[in-house]
Amino acid sequence: MKRIFSGVQPTGNLHLGNYLGAIKNFVALQDDYDCIYCVVDMHAITMWQDPAALRANTREVAAAYLAAGIDPKRCIIFNQSQVGAHAQLAWIFNCVARLGWLNRMTQFKDKAGKNREKASVGLYAYPNLMAADILAYKATHVPVGEDQKQHLELARDIAQKFNNDFGVELFPILEPLILGPAARVMSLRDGSKKMSKSEPSDMSRINMTDEADDIAKKIRKATSDPDLLPGPEALDEGGAVSEEARRARPEAYNLLGIYAALADKPVGDVMTEFAGTQFSRFKAALTDLAVATLGPMGREMKRLTEDPASVDAVLRDGAERARAIAEPVMREVYDTVGFLRP
């Protein structure tokens, strides 16, 4: 069976973008793939994390995986730092990737901001660790939100350069899976900005653990525009929202995409349903749908995080199974590079 790898950082404030752009797809893919879902704690520390908060957030991401419906028997759920192969392969990839490639990464530029000199070396080398995550298991398919596309292109380049440099076919060519109508969920306050864990205003995002009242308030106050909702005639020939349409009404298409993803419907069907209605009516329907989906999941996350021993047991078992897959790959890599090993 084809293998999937993906990960989420335990940096707090898991939100609707993480759910719709990634975790919801992880759940759907477990029927057809051999899946490894990681809590990437080593990526998290590329920016300073309070140790107690890191532990709690690691368990919270694992709880989100479980509450969303990922089956820890069929899939592997674990935290990155428990499997040494990630750090080992990342170092080798630090020696394969070129500075010029990393200099083009827009996420580093965004996260480091003006204070580039003060950013950690880990933040800069972050995409190499991401490539190692995937390739330590020779995974071929990687479900992510749209913001990770550039990192995955780099991971492909690293795999190809490694294979070329050593004249081997060790690493497969991986494919991003950017799925569904909410691969890029935008802030509820500003349709030009991505919904993000680090945005200071909590009103900009719906958190996976938000209560019904908060969800309702955030959707009611979400920025919209003065027009009525567009009908399906606004879609392009392929039934998709064109970039031009999105640019003209970013908030409207963001909310429509969220609705479509939550309802598991094509965005065109949602536009047919709500064509010509007022935002107030649409927002009420969106609130009901979001509360119905996120409410039970948030409650299950809270229940699980109150029982850390059960979450830790899942992570321990997952790490053991992950190690069993990564170790033979690492032996092959060490032999290829010329490292003597026990």
Enzyme catalytic residues: 111, 194, 197
Q: Which amino acid is at 36?
A: I
18 counts as binding ligand TYM under rule CB under 6 A: yes
Nearest CA among 183, 209, 212 for reference residue 61? 209
279-305 helix and 250-263 helix, angle to the nearest 10 degrees: 50
What number of chain residues touch ligand TYM (CB under 6 A)? 25
Which span sits near ligand TYM by CB under 6 A: 126-134, 271-279, 284-292, 298-306? 126-134
H-only helix segments in 167-278: 212-221, 243-248, 250-263, 267-274
Window 158-197: contact mask with ligand TYM (x via CB under 6 A)? -------------------------xxx--------xx--
For residue 53, what are the contacts with CB-CB under 8 A and spacing of at least 6? 12
Cβ contact 267:183 at 8 Å:
no
Contact with ligand TYM (CB under 6 A) among 3, 9, 174, 222: 9
133 counts as binding ligand TYM under rule CB under 6 A: yes
Q: Which residues of 291-300 are buried (b: 16+ CB within 10 A; e: fewer)?
A: bebbeebbeb
Contact with ligand TYM (CB under 6 A) among 145, 180, 250, 257: 145
CB nearer to ligand TYM: pick between 17 and 250: 17
3-state helix, strand, coil in the chain (%, to 5): 60, 10, 35
Strand order in the sheet with 141-143: 76-79, 34-39, 3-8, 141-143, 175-177
Name the minimum Å distance from CB 75 to ligand TYM: 14
Tokens 């935008």 belong to: 186
7 counts as binding ligand TYM under rule CB under 6 A: yes
For residue 75, what are the contacts with CB-CB under 8 A and spacing of at least 6? 26, 30, 35, 36, 37
86 counts as binding ligand TYM under rule CB under 6 A: no
Name the minimum Å distance from CB 9 to ligand TYM: 3
The span from the first CA to the last CA of the chain, in angstroms, equals 31
Name the minimum Å distance from CB 133 to ligand TYM: 4
Q: Give CA–CA dist 119/274, Å, rounded.
A: 46
322 counts as binding ligand TYM under rule CB under 6 A: no
CB nearer to ligand TYM: pick between 9 and 224: 9
Name the minimum Å distance from CB 94 to ligand TYM: 15
- The SS3 assignment for 73 reads coil
128 counts as binding ligand TYM under rule CB under 6 A: no
CB nearer to ligand TYM: pick between 188 and 235: 188
Name the minimum Å distance from CB 17 to ligand TYM: 3
- The SS3 assignment for 285 reads helix
CB nearer to ligand TYM: pick between 151 and 249: 151
CB nearer to ligand TYM: pick between 110 and 306: 110
250 counts as binding ligand TYM under rule CB under 6 A: no
Rg (CA), the chain: 21
Contact with ligand TYM (CB under 6 A) among 130, 219, 267, 294: 130
76 counts as binding ligand TYM under rule CB under 6 A: no
Query: Which residues would be at the binding site for ligand TYM (CB under 6 A)?
Result: 5-9, 17-18, 21-22, 40, 43, 130, 133-134, 142, 144-145, 147-148, 151, 183-185, 194-195
